Structure 1
């Protein structure tokens, strides 16, 4: 994610972001990802201020966090997270991770880049590595009320893209929730493996 307007929107709202409650479906999906990985090394891709990374660390996982917003990386580091400034294009490892957690971050990438990013994530996972993907459901690409860039997908588009990237889908959960901008949106949570 390299969209400056999106990064700026997050930079000025770190404290607000930390106050947004996770929907119950996402809390359960995070737990399911943790259990599916079991132990090992994970990448929290688009980690934000590191809240999920902190949860995974408390559960005994070794976490590397990556985010494009400097203020988020700084906050995560201040809270003991191994966090780095970077974009989706910085996922260049091969068979490195037991799991990759991508919670509502890949939706900031342009639609045209989605297959390329999924392929890089697949390469970065060890065989049978676990992948969690959270996205908003919808159509098109546009900016929200906070000027963040979003790409929306249908469930069918997501399933097809994951299949083409070589993933096997284990579970799909859908729901509705309110995010940082205050809008009430449909979302999808996918647990898959390489």
Structure 2
């Protein structure tokens, strides 16, 4: 369902997200990274964030599950964006930072622990991981996309299941897109 949405609406989604100013979130994440660090943009969508990190001098890898989004992200970033899902993640301690901006929210709650474990395994010790979810406490479908919403308690519970991860920052933001007024829960995790 969600994948079909992005396949069918890739250009519209790209156009609506690629120019959104995420600089305040980048600063919060990158202040914990060494120059030239290796960063994974997991569920990269338009490639906006992968391109920003590349322009900051980081070694960036990116993937998305939608082949249409992958093509647009490759064109936009010039990076070899991979076509894969979270279930395909098999890296071991490869990345200094992982960026999951509005991507994990599409994973069904029942699968989220396994996906988080896979991504935690891909993070190097002392690595930093940014995650964001729409604020809430359930699962829902909206216009052909499924969402797993999080609040502070649910995110803390989920993170506690992976003992080597700690939440070291947790905050709320308003949607960065001017026409939207949703609230997001954001977190930085440390391995």
- TM-score using structure 1 length: 0.88
Partner of 1:19: 16
1:158 aligned partner: 155
2:183 aligned residue: 186
How much has 1:185 moved relative to structure 2? 2.1
- For 2:139 and 2:53, the matched residues in 1 are separated by 31
Does residue 65 of structure 1 match 2:71? no
147, 166, 174: which is aligned to 1:168? 166
Aligned partners of 1:173, 1:30: CA distance in 2, in Å?
14
The RMSD of aligned alpha carbons is: 2.0
Q: TM-score, normalised by structure 2?
A: 0.89
Q: Deviations over 1:138-174 (max 9, x none)?
A: 1221111x21011112211101211321212221120
Tell me the number of residue pairs that the alignment of Structure 1 and Structure 2 aligns.
Answer: 186
Q: Is the 8 A contact 1:99 1:129 kept in 2?
A: yes
Confirm or deny: 8 A CA contact 1:63 1:82 kept in the other structure.
Answer: no
Pairing 1:120–2:124 present? no
Could you say if the C-alpha distance between residues 87 and 19 of structure 1 is closer, same or farther in structure 2, counting changes exceeding 3 Å? same
C-alpha distance in structure 2 between counterparts of 1:49 and 1:179, whole Å: 14
Distance 1:117 1:127, change over 3 A: same
Distance in 2, matches of 1:178 and 1:28, equals 10
What secondary structure sits across from 1:173 in the alignment?
strand
The partner residue of 1:77 within 70, 74, 78 is 74
Distance 1:125 1:178, change over 3 A: closer
1:134 aligns with 2:132: yes
Structure 2: state its 5+ residue gaps: none
SS at match of 1:36: coil
Q: Secondary structure of 1:49's partner?
A: coil
Which secondary structure does the structure 1 equivalent of 2:46 belong to?
coil
3-state DSSP of counterpart to 2:172: strand
Aligned to 1:6: 2
Unaligned runs of 5+ in 1: none
State the match for 1:36 in structure 2: 32
- List structure 1 segments (4+ residues) > 3 angstroms apart after TM superposition: none
